[in-house]
Amino acid sequence: MANLKNKIKSLLPRRLNYWYYLYTAKKAVNFDIRRRVYDKVYNISAAEKVKRDLTLNYHIVEKGLTMPVPRPGFGKQVVIDLCRVVLRYESMNLPFSELEFSQSVTVLKEYAAFHNEIGFELDKEVSDSLAKIVNRFDNVHGTHQIQTTAKEYFKAINAPFDAFCMSRFSVRSYTNTEIPMPVLYDCIDLAQKSPSFCNRQPTRVHIVKSPHKKEAILAIQNGNRGFGHLAETLIVLTSIISVTKDIHERNENHLNGGMFAMTLLNALHFNKIAACSLNWSVDNEKDMKMRALLNVPENEVVLLVISCGYPPESFKVASSPRKKAMEITKTH
């Protein structure tokens, strides 16, 4: 039957085939788009959305606190917004025990303490907002940002899997010591052991060492301010769409790439290389710029950028605590 279908398809004029694929693609993709648009417009799951806003904002502050050189007074508007969202969360009578809330309060307290310590006078609007949070919520405790050394950070690279896995963090501090290509190839070979759909291995790797290309990529990526320029290497992951068969396999490029990226991050960690994923959630214009810079063919999608380098002797990492298994799991 499948053979017959393929035979008929091959006999059809190309134009007809094109319209057939476009029709099935629209039908499938609309289904997904509708759910997303519905969620944005009609879904009033206010608790999820307020927790999302807490996380988005506290993460920017924890990143700022762990930059190679934190900029005094950084993130003014984010801090004000975070204080506001914390108070909104409280007014909704949601539990203080939720990670998003406890971490937001802790990060704001750290922000105030950091500026106190360096004797920096914060903008009045910021200090007024902080005052509403810092002296309240005495019983709310999250995790603090981590000061570490390269020796301490890599001490579990030969430990059993659980210790190894828990020891990796996103690192946003790098030296300019060159990462040799053979080491990067070793890491990529390990990442290649990641499973892929029918072993089709769609992920491709672009190693970027050229200073002007790194700069151009980082200029259009929106999550590397304060540390991206230190990266000795950028790794750009792409994936070949031609290895998918029909539109129902459309998520496989990103899914397979995600699995590949995780193994790659662990492989870099195993090789004592500090790394941080950098999102590629960009508009078409930026995507086109990246394609032009790296000569990415039309049948590949760009998935993710990873900044990396050997770390300095001492540095900070954001604690980025996780919810517990029981909080994210349903048993059926």
**For binding to ligand FMN (CB under 6 A), which residues are involved?**
59, 63, 169-170, 223-224, 276-279, 304, 320
Q: CB-wise, 129 or 153, nearer to ligand FMN?
A: 153
Q: Is the Cα dihedral 75, 79, 82, 88 positive or negative?
A: negative
Minimum CB–partner distance for residue 280 and ligand FMN (Å)? 8
Which of 202/223 has CB closer to ligand FMN? 223
Q: Which is nearer to ligand FMN, 129 or 196 (CB)?
A: 196
Q: How far is the CB of 243 from ligand FMN (least distance, A)?
A: 21
**What's the min distance (Å) between Cβ of 201 and ligand FMN?**
20
DSSP 230: G
The owner of tokens 């969360």 is 89
Closest CA to 271 of 172, 195, 158, 173: 158
300-309 and 146-149 beta bridge pairing: unpaired
For the bound state, the minimum distance from the C-beta of residue 279 to ligand FMN, rounded and expressed in Å, comes to 4
- In the bound state with ligand FMN, the residue whose beta carbon lies nearer, of 223 and 309, is 223
Burial class (CB in 10 A: 0-12, 13-18, 19+), 184: buried
Q: How far apart are CA 153 and CA 151, in angstroms?
A: 6
Q: Give dist(CA 85, CA 36) in Å, integer.
A: 23
Closest CB to ligand FMN among 63 and 316? 63
Please identify the residue of the shown chain whose CB is closest to the bound ligand FMN. 223
Task: Kindly state the smallest distance separating residue 7's Cβ from ligand FMN, in Å.
Answer: 42
Least separation in angstroms between residue 269's CB and ligand FMN is 10
Report phi then psi at 100, rounded to 5. Answer: -60, -40
Q: Which is nearer to ligand FMN, 108 or 274 (CB)?
A: 274
By C-beta, is 137 or 280 nearer to ligand FMN? 280
Q: How far is the CB of 172 from ligand FMN (least distance, A)?
A: 6
What b/e string do you get for 69-108 counting C-beta neighbours within 10 Å, with b at 16 or more?
A: ebeeebbeebbbbbbebbeebeeeebeeebbbbbbbbbbb
Least gap, CB of 274 to ligand FMN (angstroms): 11
- Across-strand partners of 148? 315
Residue 305 near residue 217 (C-beta atoms within 8 A) = yes
The answer to whether 62 and 107 have CB atoms below 8 angstroms apart is: yes
Task: Tell me the C-alpha distance between 289 and 110, whole Å.
Answer: 38
When the beta carbons of 129 and 238 are compared against ligand FMN, the nearer one is: 238
Count other Cβ atoms within 10 Å, centred on residue 300. 19
